A and B are shown apart, each in its own frame.
Chain A
Amino acid sequence: MVPKLQASHAPPCKFWTAFQVINGIRHMAPVIHGPKGCTYSVSSEYKMSNCEYSGVPLEPTSCTAQNEADVVYGGEAKLLEAVKEAEQRYHPELIVIFSCCCSGIIGDDVETIAHRAEQEVKAKVLAIRSEGFGGDFRSGYEDAFRVIMELMEPPTKKMEKTINIIGARQGPTYTEWTQDLDEIERMVYAIGAKVNGILCGGCTVEEIRRARSVELNASWCYDWGQKLGDLMEERFGIPYARTGLPYGLKATEEWIMGVAGPLGLKEQATEMVAKETGDLAGDIDTLRRFFDGKTALIEITEFPGPIRALALARMVQEFGAHPIVVNIHPYTVKERMPSIKFLLKQGQNPEIILTKGLFSLGTFRSSWETEAELEMIAAQYDNAIYLGSPLRQPGVPQVNLTTMTGYPHFGYRGIRNLARLVQSSLENAHRPRSRLFREVLYGN
């Protein structure tokens, strides 16, 4: 049986995930060779939301507004003109052409147009064949990262003790509330290393150009970064620190050692780890007391996604709990196969429970049935706890992983935050959940 999501559940297509990556580059003007719907949607989802929370300016989005005539007669000429117009309007450093279903099916050759346009404009012009049906969730970001490699120039001289952080997308992180990416950066700087650029989390074209001059690549998100890391190692010989998400002490130490080792900063890293761990003694104690002997149900939803959930499973184990990962859909396993293989190699193979509701047709029905099953599952353990979103009301102490003030989860600040979250969970375990929320979510 081929794992497929049921008809009521659809992840973003190749076009969306490709755009999400490219959107993280500054002074980049996308020229989408397609109709307005795709264009406005990704702009609304990624650009506009990004400006609201991170305070960056609203960068432009444009398209060739393909209509029926363009589909029938081809739109390459229009695309070339659109790229030239984009240069005049937006003065970007980089123009990226995306193809959509319309332009992909009729065979408009966006790559050739990109080459041609580059001779006529100042900006660098790249093209991604990102028609939605032409791949899946994963191939979008893999192809996007592959394409930006064309911007990377041969190293002039090695930037010592400098790394790229790869696997990022959409743009810079939230301001004021330091996010996982900021925590990673902080740790890197704390051991005396430097970051050339975060690809592609608000990076510049210049940082991408210099990307080959670093000593090492390390990923923020293993799943999204792994392709770029592998390719840069294969093609340019840049070592890639293959470590998972830094949830908890062990994983964080592994992550930072994965960076420190190749850079010759092991000593500094060991020192930092010892200091940070020491400073967190109280929080670590809280986490141990909370997790010890418990059965931790970690549900995979929008957030945490599968890779985070598996990293969390490892973390709770470290603190003495028995993790059970709930609802990693077989389709998701297929989508995230490279990461799943990596985790298995690391020795991670937690218990998995799949609810019947996971496979039900209809998003409401699926959610409602899963909720009922979760409550039942939780009740079967003496000492279950739940980690995930407060959309669920499993009737056991639950740790809210989705509150905006709860980030980062990564690294040492992450441990502090998670300790605070579990403390809150303990203190409030006796409080009844809101009937209002329950009825809104699951009906009467």
Chain B
Amino acid sequence: MRQIAIYGKGGIGKSTVASNLSMAFREQGLKVIQVGCDPKRDSTRNLTQGRLIPTVLETYREHLRMGHDEYAIALEDIVFEGSKGIYCVESGGPEPGIGCAGRGVLTAINILRDLKAFDTYGVDVVVYDVLGDVVCGGFAQPIREGYAREIYLVCSGAFMSIYAANNIAKAIRRLSRPRETGLAGVIGNSSGDEQFEKGVLAEFAQTLGSKFIHLVPRSPVIQACEVQCRTVLEHAPDSAEAEAFRKLAKRVIDNDHPVIPTPVEELSELEALYRQYLKT
């Protein structure tokens, strides 16, 4: 079973990448489960035609109210079949400004493990889609021992997305285990200037000790599918954009070499790297 986690700055397109990846894996005949780790609970929308599925934490809360523990949760109440039989889970979490979302993600992931969700559904690939800023321990739970082994960082050409990805790489470095868990690669989600992005992201990935996997083009097709709450592979299966995701998926499948990343320590160094490509 492959376990893949997708991290990156908030709003960078992780959920788009994750859901399309999941669909591409599914196309290849793999059994897939996508786990959204975000209190906004919107990771799997593209796989459920826009329906917001009940979250793990919501369901857990109902059981707690009845005086039951997590083992009273039935897997069917938290794992839902989406488009093309892709299993969908949303961790859920508190509303903004209250409670502890990190603890929420941690708890939800543990429930999936304790209920042996992945074994039960016999999945081949797990895709964790984790919210933007990894600001406390709980958000790192998906890459702890027993969970995701291959971690991808999604970036665009915007400097802040690279800066955020570099920061997240520090968490990955701390939690990596040699030949087990690590940074698998950098995925680009283009904001328009493909040539620039390919250059800078490749350099960035190399600096991290990893590789640049693929650049997903910016395209009105992708955006149109988002609005329809569909993946590109479903809604526009013959498009070039769909091909791009298939290519990405293939590269991810073939890539089984996570590394312990070497994030850039000095902001000035990162800026210099970036500026280098701006000029060209």
Contacts and interface: CB of A to CB of B under 8 A. Distances in A.
Direct contact of A and B (CB under 8 A): yes
Interface of A: 2-3, 74, 104-109, 111-112, 115, 135-136, 139, 331, 334
25 contacts: A2-B65, A2-B66, A2-B67, A3-B67, A74-B137, A104-B103, A105-B100, A105-B103, A106-B102, A106-B138, A107-B103, A107-B136, A107-B137, A107-B138, A107-B139, A107-B140, A107-B141, A109-B137, A109-B145, A111-B145, A112-B144, A115-B145, A135-B69, A331-B67, A334-B67
B106 interface: yes
A139 B102 contact: no
Given A74-B137, A107-B136, A107-B140, A112 B69 contact: no
A115 B145 CA distance: 10
A139 B69 contact: yes
A8 B215 CA distance: 60
Contact of B145 (A74, A104, A108, A112): A112
Contacts of B67: 2-3, 331, 334
Name the interface size band of chain B.
Answer: 10 to 19
A177 to B, nearest CB: 37
Contacts of B106: 107
A135 B140 CA distance: 22
B171 to A, nearest CB: 10
A132 to B, nearest CB: 13
Nearest to B107: A134
B173 to A, nearest CB: 14
Contacts of B141: 107
A115 B138 CA distance: 19
A131 to B, nearest CB: 9
Give the interface SS of chain B, mostly helix, strand, loop or mixed. helix
Interface string B123-145: 00000000000001111110011
Contacts of B102: 105-107
Ordered nearest first, which 10 A-B pairs have the shortest CB separation?
A: A107-B137, A334-B67, A107-B138, A106-B137, A105-B103, A112-B145, A107-B106, A2-B65, A109-B144, A2-B67
A210 to B, nearest CB: 28
Interface string B95-108: 00000101100100
A106 B136 contact: yes
A2 B103 CA distance: 24
Contacts of A108: 137
B63 to A, nearest CB: 11
Nearest to B100: A105
Contacts of A105: 100, 102-103, 138
A396 B198 CA distance: 89
B139 to A, nearest CB: 8
Contacts of A74: 137
A110 to B, nearest CB: 11
A108 B141 CA distance: 9
Interface string B217-257: 00000000000000000000000000000000000000000
Nearest to B144: A109
A112 B176 CA distance: 12
A136 B90 CA distance: 25
Contacts of B138: 105-107
A115 B180 CA distance: 15
Contacts of A139: 69
Given A107-B139, A108-B137, 7 more contacts: A2-B66, A2-B67, A104-B103, A105-B138, A111-B145, A115-B145, A136-B69
Interface string B56-72: 00000000011101000
Most buried by A among B67, B106, B141: B67
A139 B114 CA distance: 14
A331 B100 CA distance: 27
B20 to A, nearest CB: 29
A334 B102 CA distance: 29
Interface string B76-103: 0000000000000000000000001011
A94 B138 CA distance: 28
A111 B67 CA distance: 27
B7 to A, nearest CB: 15
A223 B225 CA distance: 56
A111 B147 CA distance: 13
A3 B65 CA distance: 9
A322 B264 CA distance: 77
Nearest to A129: B110
A106 B106 CA distance: 9
Q: Which of A3, A109, A111, A334 has the most CB of B within 10 A?
A: A109
B98 to A, nearest CB: 14
A115 B102 CA distance: 23
B155 to A, nearest CB: 25
A74 B171 CA distance: 12
A111 B103 CA distance: 16
A215 B257 CA distance: 48
A74 B69 CA distance: 28
B38 to A, nearest CB: 16
Contacts of B136: 106-107
A347 B272 CA distance: 79
A108 B103 CA distance: 11
A4 B66 CA distance: 10
Nearest to A104: B103
Nearest to A75: B137
- Report which residue of A74, A105, A108, A331 has the largest number of chain B beta carbons within 10 angstroms of its beta carbon: A105
A108 B102 CA distance: 11
A135 B63 CA distance: 12
Contacts of B139: 107
Contacts of A331: 67
